[in-house]
Amino acid sequence: MGVEICVEGLTKSFGSQVIWQDVSLTLPAGEISVMLGPSGTGKSVFLKTLVGLLRPDRGAINVAGRDITRLREHELYEVRRLFGVLFQDGALFGSMSLFDNIAFPLREHTRKPESEVRRIVLEKMDMVGLIGAEEKLPGEISGGMRKRAGLARALVLDPEIILFDEPDSGLDPVRVAYLNQLIVDLNAQTGATFLIVTHDIASARQVPDNIGLLFRRELVMFGPRKQLFASDEPVVEQFLGGRMQGPIGMAEEKDAAQVEQELAELDAGERRGPQGGKGATGAMGDTPRLLPGPGVPRSPRWEEIARREERSDRVVSGT
Amino acid sequence: MKWSPAGAATGVLSSSGSLFALALDIFRSLFRRPFQAREFIQQAWFLASVTILPTALVSIPFGAVIALQIGSLTRQLGAQSFAGAASVLAVLREASPIVTALLIAGAGGSAICADLGARKIREEIDAMEVLGINPVHRLVVPRVLASMLVAALLNGLVSVVGIAGGYFFNVVLQDGTPGAYLASFTMLAQLPDLYAAELKALVFGALAAVVAAHKGLTAQGGPKGVGDAVNQSVIITFMLLFVVNFVMTAVYFQLVPQRG
């Protein structure tokens, strides 16, 4: 089963530039959480801090009873085995074939015989739909395939926590849909804790249990999906609605007077400019949740979620 | 950020600090099992393949220049019988460590730095760390050892090719006496010269690989960052190797009694 990650008062800066400060949140064990935020708000930095690749200035990250920020190097390598990370471009080893890439963690960490390694690797490759591409080099395949291979490699040691750095960037809408379904299925099968860093509102609407939003060097909000989509916090509303009007500007912040004016316009029900970028529908409100596919065994947690979804469906159709 | 002398000074200090930290890490990881034999052999083969030909081609003119200089000098002094002795001494003591240093830094170090730098910016190094594998142990240690081995072998190659080049120029082009040239080989040079040169080569190989690994692993800012890292690594290694060569030569003269 998954492991809880508890982040307290985390602050990170590069030189004099503060990336984010005082971030506190708890990623509940076994649940899917999404971290949203405009580009350049340090979402990837947050992810790298969680696995101990970057050291924060202050704060604590508790995973399985240990504070990642205080571990010595060899202890850190031990704790990292709990994690599987999908990097933005897959981060495959360029000199190895896909098969060797995915087999790499098994060969380095376990003494499994080659036949067993082969069985596990092929199983994971089948899971992400890469059967037949075993001998290809990472340079010879598309970005989407690299991403899926990176995911297979992250899964191969059966991690308790899986982190995704923008799984949908550079993928077409169909592949994003498949990937979202895969994420939900994996969560139902493995029960691991998931954290997804993304811009894609459509995914954020359907996939997670919890959503967090980073903006202007802090965590604006973190909570259950429904709570964020029902929120009237201007930043949250603007980002989830994919609108131009609101506190977020092209260059991260707008000047205060303009924000004030735009918020007043919104209150008056006056909407201008394009909206609904990146899968945002422009409106708030609830969306049905993505459930594990047929044939995927559901844990009690997912049984519960499925029941709740069905109930809310009836309520909607009843009105 | 604006340039300031204080900022530049702390930058230099902190990057040399992290260079030493990496060197210490490498030293500690040297004794960690399992030893990455496959990576070591691959890297040694790779380094040898990029350095052998340029090394041989550089050592021929190097040996020839020494032979030319010495040949005319000895003729004027009437000491032709010393031509071979002086040529061997010069090649063995100075030319071979210097040529080895240039090639191992220029061809070997730049290749190591470019390789690790490209892996760093593609997040391969991060991915490796997240998979619970220490890149210093898995990638850097085999490269350092391979570089040391290849440097020691290159040093031998430079000595042989350099002396052969000197012989050719002295005997064939300047009408020296083959017998006298060969007979005087051990008049000035002695076996400890060769040991010292091999020791120098080992140290140069290690230094070049450590600096290249450090620059590669700290590369940032995309492909341009890798280019910058390679450039800096070659320059820093050149300067370091020449300084170290001087110090080691000075120490050698203090420790080993000279002939002649």
Q: Do the domain assignments include residue A47?
A: yes
Of A73, A87, A108, the CB nearest to B126: A87
Query: pLDDT at position B205, please?
Result: 92
Same domain assignment for residues A171 and A270: no
* CATH label of the domain that carries residue A14: 3.40.50.300
What distances in angstroms separate CA A224 from CA A27, A286, A301, one per listed residue?
Answer: 11, 12, 15
Which of chain B's residues have a Cβ under 8 Å away from the Cβ of A73? 134
Same domain assignment for residues A168 and A234: no
Q: What region, left, alpha or beta, does residue B259 occupy, with left being phi > 0 and alpha being psi -120 to 50 degrees?
A: beta
Which of chain A's residues have a Cβ under 8 Å away from the Cβ of B127? 85, 87, 91-93, 150, 153
DSSP string for B107-174: IIIHHHHHHHHHHHHTTHHHHHHHTT--HIIIIIHHHHHHHHHHHHHHHHHHHHHHHHHHHIIIIIIS
DSSP string for B23-75: HHHHHHHHTPSSP-HHHHHHHHHHHHHHHHHHHHHHHHHHHHHHHHHHHHHHH
> How far is B93 from B189, CA to CA, in rounded Å?
8
CB pairs under 8 A between A and B: 56
How do beta strands A161-165 and A193-197 pair?
parallel
> How far is A227 from A213, CA to CA, in rounded Å?
12
C-beta atoms of B124 and A153 within 8 A: no
Same domain assignment for residues A259 and A167: no
Q: Do the domain assignments include residue A300?
A: no
> Which residue did the predictor score with more confidence, A254 or B190?
B190
> How far is A203 from A273, CA to CA, in rounded Å?
23
C-beta atoms of A78 and B132 within 8 A: yes
Q: Is B180 helix (H, G, I), strand (E, B) or coil?
A: helix
Whether residue A284 is predicted with pLDDT greater than 70 in this model: the reply is no
Whether residue A319 is predicted with pLDDT greater than 50 in this model: the reply is no
Q: Do the domain assignments include residue A115?
A: yes
Q: Do the domain assignments include residue A312?
A: no
Same domain assignment for residues A211 and A254: no
Token output for A64: 């399985």
Q: Do the domain assignments include residue A216?
A: yes
Same domain assignment for residues A202 and A235: no
Same domain assignment for residues A198 and A239: no
Q: How many domains does chain A have?
A: 2
B122 touches A: beta carbon within 8 Å:
yes
A66-67, strands of its sheet edge to edge? A17-27, A5-14, A58-63, A66-67
Look up the domain containing A128 and give its range: 5-220
Which of chain B's residues have a Cβ under 8 Å away from the Cβ of A53? 126, 129-130
- Exposure string for B219-250, b = 16+ CB within 10 A, e = fewer: beeeeeebeebbebbbebbbebbeebbeebee
Q: Do the domain assignments include residue A288?
A: no
Q: What is the pLDDT of residues A199-239, one digit of tens each?
A: 888 888 888 999 998 888 888 889 888 888 888 888 888 88
Q: B213 falls in which pLDDT band (50, 70, 90)? A: very high
Same domain assignment for residues A142 and A33: yes
Domain borders along chain B are 34-255
Of B123, B132, B134, the CB nearest to A87: B123
Q: Which residue of B has its CA nearest to A77?
A: B132
Interface test with B, best of A108, A110, A146, A151 (most B CBs within 10 A): A108
> How far is A199 from A221, CA to CA, in rounded Å?
16
Q: Mean pLDDT of all residues in chain A?
A: 84
Cβ-based neighbour number of residue B54 at 10 Å? 15
> How far is B194 from B197, CA to CA, in rounded Å?
5
> Which residue did the predictor score with more confidence, A266 or A97?
A97
Same domain assignment for residues A33 and A98: yes
User: Which segment of A150-159, A198-207, A262-271, B218-227 scores lowest on mean pLDDT?
Assistant: A262-271
C-beta atoms of A109 and B127 within 8 A: no
Token output for B69: 């200089």
Cβ-based neighbour number of residue B4 at 10 Å? 9
Cβ–Cβ < 8 Å for B50, B107: yes
Q: Which helix (H) or strand (E) holds B103?
A: helix B96-103
> Which residue did the predictor score with more confidence, B94 or B1?
B94
Q: Do the domain assignments include residue A266?
A: yes
C-beta atoms of A77 and B122 within 8 A: no
Q: What is the pLDDT of residues B142-198, one digit of tens each?
A: 999 999 999 999 999 998 888 888 888 888 877 777 887 788 877 777 888 888 899
Q: State CA A18 to chain mean position distance.
A: 23
Query: pLDDT at position A313, please?
Result: 67
What ipTM was predicted for this assembly?
Answer: 0.78
Same domain assignment for residues A72 and A135: yes
Cβ–Cβ < 8 Å for A108, B34: no
Interface test with B, best of A14, A50, A54, A80 (most B CBs within 10 A): A80
Q: Do the domain assignments include residue A304?
A: no
Handedness of CA A80, A83, A84, A89 (dihedral sign): negative
C-beta atoms of B123 and A88 within 8 A: yes
Query: pLDDT at position B260, please?
Result: 58
